[in-house]
Amino acid sequence: MERLGIANANLHTWRHTFASYLMMRTGNIRAVQMLLGHKSIRTTEIYSHLSERHLHHVVGQLPGPKMGTLLGTPAILRGRGIA
């Protein structure tokens, strides 16, 4: 890390980074679990940090007001939000 000029990072930091980027790129937590060798999916959840930017991107993928037309059903039901 010193030779690369990266401060405050270690192998464990890279493990978290790998898990986070793989999770954000694929959304496949089972694959991340297997690649990291975790027995419990709960442990993988701890390693898989999602960035604020990624969360905004995911929400941005929702269809707009014409979602009902796209799905063939009403998008908004009274008192129930998005269906």
Can you tell me the distance from the alpha carbon of 53 to that of 21, in angstroms, rounded to the nearest whole number? 12
Q: Can you tell me the mean pLDDT for 23-48?
A: 91
Can you tell me the distance from the alpha carbon of 59 to that of 17, in angstroms, rounded to the nearest whole number? 22
**42: region left, alpha or beta (phi > 0 left; psi from -120 to 50 alpha):** alpha
Can you tell me the distance from the alpha carbon of 25 to that of 74, in angstroms, rounded to the nearest whole number? 31
Can you tell me the distance from the alpha carbon of 67 to that of 74, in angstroms, rounded to the nearest whole number? 8
pLDDT at 56: 82
Going from N- to C-terminal start, the domains of the chain cover 11-82
pLDDT at 76: 52
DSSP letter assigned to residue 82: E
More confident residue, 52 or 69: 52
